[in-house]
Amino acid sequence: MSKKIVVCGGGGFIGGHLVNDLLEQGHQIRSVDRKLFSDWYQKFDDVENIVLNLECKDACVQALEGVDEVYNLAADMGGMGFIENNKALCMLSVLINTHLCMAAKDAGIKKFFYASSACVYSAVKQTEAENPGLKEEDAYPALAEDGYGWEKLFSERMCRHFMEDYNLQTRVARYHNVYGPNGTYDGGREKAPAAICRKVIEAKLSGKHEIEIWGDGSQTRSFMYIDDCVKGTQTIMHSDIIEPINLGSSEMVTINKLVDLAEEIGDVKLKRNYNLDAPKGVRGRSSDNTLIQKYLNWEPDIKLRDGLEKTYRWIFDQISNK
């Protein structure tokens, strides 16, 4: 049955892909973002596209008018280089989720999704490269990523209390590193997979066969391809899972391995220069998928090599067509 759905942050990376998928299912979509429309990653004619700053309560009321479901993907975010240097800006995203929750309660919204992050997890659990995978319970006692992670943790709780006190049906996924085409790959907000692809492509095209890697390259992460993210987001939205749940890949790799894969795709070998002073985040992070497997009998399973190839090709086209 066709529903009226608003995607907040629809001009961004994940929001754009979600809008596309919901549209294909025949839903009526409103997409809201603060960015100039010309800067949206994906634009669709048959969507109601609105430019609004969702930090303001009035804008949230306008964004939610007449809709059944809300996906909140709007936040000031980026990779480590951005969040380590913009903590206040990241924390101000609290205004978006708070005002959206208030507007959703007043509008009688049926379902409300909030995009949280693996950055809510306690630093104490992420000191070793051989991370066994973060379980949902590892968020407490809290020692989240400064700025960005604390905002996510607070907003998760806002969702929980709006459900407990006002019966707003909130669903919360903790995304672990999402990557794919149609997202940020330069400018300072890009995350590791896009940044590494871009650097490999630039080295290949320029003939200067060197790459700068942040940290010593043996820090670990897991990366979820965008198609798994879009599928998991909607499945969690329509599930009975009322606690925050991991949505991430459990295929943990070192950053060196990520570079190996990008080099393999680009058919090039580069001299690696390790910048130990650059922002590098926690030492080891991956997703423990026991809970999502239990609830959904599914977990993100697109192989990093496959997703990275698509991402690399898209970034290559962007750079070549500049």
> Which residues are annotated as catalytic?
148
Q: Which two three-digit tokens encode residue 235?
A: 């499945």
Residue with tokens 């964004």: 63
Whole-number Å distance between alpha carbons of 179 and 265: 16
20 near ligand NAD, rule: CB under 6 A: no
Tell me: does residue 188 bind ligand NAD (CB under 6 A).
no
Shortest approach of ligand NAD to residue 271 CB, angstroms? Answer: 28
55 contacts ligand NAD (rule: CB under 6 A)? yes
Tokens of 59: 């804008």
> Coil, strand or helix: which one is 189?
coil
CB of 40 to ligand NAD, least distance (A): 7
- Apex 107 CA angle, 101 and 112, nearest 5: 45
Alpha-carbon Rg of the chain, whole angstroms?
19
Q: Among 12, 181, 215, 300, indicate the residue that binds ligand NAD (CB under 6 A).
A: 12
Least spacing, CB of residue 208 vs ligand NAD, in Å: 29
**Six token digits for residue 109:** 């919204």
Reference 239, options 294, 185, 181; nearest CA is 294
Indicate the residue type of 129.
Answer: A
- Interacting residue with ligand NAD among 9, 147, 180, 300 (CB under 6 A): 9
Binding-site member from 30, 33, 162, 270 for ligand NAD (CB under 6 A):
33
Candidate residues 30, 67, 76, 144; the one interacting with ligand NAD per rule CB under 6 A: 76
Report how many residues bind ligand NAD under the rule CB under 6 A: 26
What are the two backbone dihedrals, phi and then psi, of residue 175, each rounded to the nearest 5 degrees? -70, 140
* CB burial readout 213-222, b (16+ within 10 A) else e: bbbeeebbbb
Q: For the CB of residue 309, give the shortest distance to ligand NAD in the complex, in Å.
A: 18
Please give the C-alpha separations between residue 18 and each of 114, 183, 190, in angstroms, as whole numbers.
Answer: 13, 13, 19
35 binds ligand NAD per the rule CB under 6 A: yes
Q: Give yes or no for residue 126 binding ligand NAD (CB under 6 A).
A: no
Residue 227 interacts with ligand NAD (CB under 6 A): yes or no: no
Instruction: Answer yes or no whether residue 34 interacts with ligand NAD by CB under 6 A.
Output: yes
Question: Which positions touch ligand NAD (CB under 6 A)?
Answer: 9, 11-15, 33-35, 53-55, 73-77, 96, 115, 117, 175, 177-178, 183-184, 191
